[in-house]
Structure 1
């Protein structure tokens, strides 16, 4: 009986591990880096919400001002910073740059959405490019994203910047962004449909058509969320617009967090709007454990003769598929090579974050970020 159970478990791991491999094989050729086209198009407004970003803001602003291929304006929203952020921005002399004070945060809004909404009201561009204050654009990024929006007819285009990881703690958390997007989102269906459930974006780098954005309600329509990367594309799709994803690793770079503690807190803040729901998390747990973790346990057992041959062969194949998917995504997105072998630990950490948020949600009642606390609702 035990042998049969082990064979069934290993075969189940093999089936589950096959899915992200198939999706990665389908998605990676489709997720290309866009290039600027001959028709430069109109003004692109690069909008940067900033709260206590003195360590990053100068490099971010200078990179945005170095954009080529389209005319740009750069607006930095100072969201009540208590450090030198506004002084640093004022010290950069460029007529295309504006420092925009963000009004006091109204009740019912999260800080980033409020800052983005205010910046969008001040912007003049035909396209609005929202970037986080730690995102450093390549010179072609604004023109390339605007070109993709025009050629694809998408009202929102997003991509995941190259994720800079400076510590083991970041390597144990950040790589899940690309793995989940590439390994589990059916990009052909996403592009063929306007179903809001297929909407996906990376909140670090999002370009929207200004008219479509305002018509859909903009960030004001998702004012309570901490996960604009999920909610904004779904909002645009619900309003009848297309959204698109591209390869963003050659368009921008971002170091999201410094170390494990920041990474844990950062991924925890919007977990309840992603996996960490009572219905979704058990399913994700089964998929990720069976396909990405259990084979790493079964194969050593098989090497010591503790598995029937069929179970060992299936587990070995599942582990190879898991490694293949992680390696393909890592190499394509230019993430650190050690993250390939850290993959099962990364999956376990991601699940630990999600379960910690779900189990503590009723007791904590709030998510905290950038010195502000927000109630956790069912977004």
Structure 2
């Protein structure tokens, strides 16, 4: 019983931290009309995105509140006609420039190299760069609102995390864990105030940076070989003396990251090993997550079968507390709360399997993404 009560206390403390982060420290830029006078370049790297880039481009061309806006698109070796789709959607809009990328040199991964090419082809030089992925659809004032929040935070880098669109059972199990993990385990106020690079989080789907601070940090050249280039860029900004900020961008942008289970599975496989670092660290973290969030319903069932209702009740409370953390996260980030939160133990189990698979494939040098080796 003592162990189960300790479990209840631990989960309760983590859920309380989620509540504090979500209600007090999480930045929430508004989506209403606003205007900025700075020159802003929106940078869009594309590789075989013909099937889904059109909504993203239309949303970029419909941006308001940024009179001096440029959109620079880089076709990174696509073989599916991505460039033709860009031309068809953009028409003769003078704000959009389409570039043809070159293959990454030795020591570079594909996305950092594409972003670095984009950052160096913005002429005349803007004061703000906004990196956007092809699966992101912005609301009309999203760029203006994000730039306003960047300046309000006195930051060199702002990550307004989009609302993640979920449609399949796999989506609903796995994707909400992204926001839940940083709201539960990352002290947001300390992250903004502390100069420690280890306290950093960012999402590359929508990333807004002060150009001077970005270059001072070395830009994407400083993270050329990093799978999690977004988080590593945030750390580079901190190392250079800049501040970073994380925001709920659910009112500014939506993102459908993966279309099906194989894409989701392989997308996480390419990056989870980099999230945890050493396999021992991954094993410790996954084990703790399983104990805290997957064990309670199993203990509850086992305790009922063994005729110890007090233990079963305590374990059931731990399960509900874990589900409450998911509900708080969903409401804070525009996600779906019920009944998905009740499946949180299953979500953690799937995350553990995906992590194991990521390390397994990396050890065998079988990690690829978009036809390129990842590591």
TM-score between the two structures when normalised by the length of structure 2: 0.93
Q: Flag the 1:335–1:38 CA change in 2: closer, same or farther, 3 A.
A: closer
Query: Counterparts in 2 of 1:1-379, with a 5 A limit?
Result: 7-29=1-23, 30-35=25-30, 40-71=36-67, 72-91=69-88, 92-93=90-91, 94-123=93-122, 124-275=125-276, 277-307=278-308, 309=310, 311-336=311-336, 337-362=338-363, 364-375=364-375
Alpha-carbon distance between aligned partners in 1 of 2:263 and 2:34, rounded to the nearest angstrom: 42
Assess, with a 3 A threshold, how the Cα gap between structure 1 residues 257 and 283 changes in structure 2: closer, same or farther.
same
Other structure's SS at 1:196 match: coil
**Aligned in 2, Cα 1:38/1:105: closer, same or farther, shift over 3 Å?**
closer
Q: Cα–Cα, structure 1 residues 203 and 89, in superposed 2: closer, same or farther, change >3 Å?
A: same
Which portions of structure 1, spanning 4 or more consecutive aligned residues, are displaced by more than 4 angstroms? Answer: 36-39
Whole-angstrom distance in 2 between the partners of 1:228 and 1:19 = 31
Contact 1:276 1:357 in 2 (8 A): no
Post-superposition Cα deviations, 1:182-213, rounded to whole Å, max 9, x if no partner, equal 11110111122121011100111110110111
**How much does 1:320 deviate?**
1.8
Contact 1:61 1:74 in 2 (8 A): no
* Unmatched tracts of structure 2, length 5 or more: none
TM-align CA RMSD: 1.7
Cα deviation 1:310-331 (Å, max 9, x = unaligned): x334312211211110111122
2:33 and 2:17 map into 1 onto residues whose CA distance is 29
Is contact 1:159-1:205 (8 Å) kept? yes
- Greater shift, 158-167 or 295-304, is seen at 295-304
Paired residues, what number?
367
Change (3 A) 1:37 1:152: farther
Instruction: Report the CA distance between 1:144 and its aligned residue.
Output: 1.1
For 2:65 and 2:20, locate their aligned partners in 1 and report how far apart those are by CA, in whole Å. Answer: 31
Residues 352 and 57 of structure 1, relative CA distance in 2, 3 Å threshold:
same
- 1:3 aligns with none
TM-score (normalizing by structure 1): 0.92
Q: Structure 1: where are the runs of 5+ without partners?
A: 1-6
CA displacement at 1:303 relative to structure 2:
3.6
Q: Against the structure 1 CA distance between its residues 39 and 84, is the aligned structure 2 distance closer, same or farther, given a 3 Å change threshold?
A: closer
CA distance in 2, matches of 1:276, 1:359: 13
Instruction: Give the conservation status (yes or no) of the 8 Å contact 1:199–1:233.
Output: yes
8 Å CA contact 2:158, 2:207 repeated in 1: yes
Distance in 2 of aligned mates of 1:12 and 1:260? 36
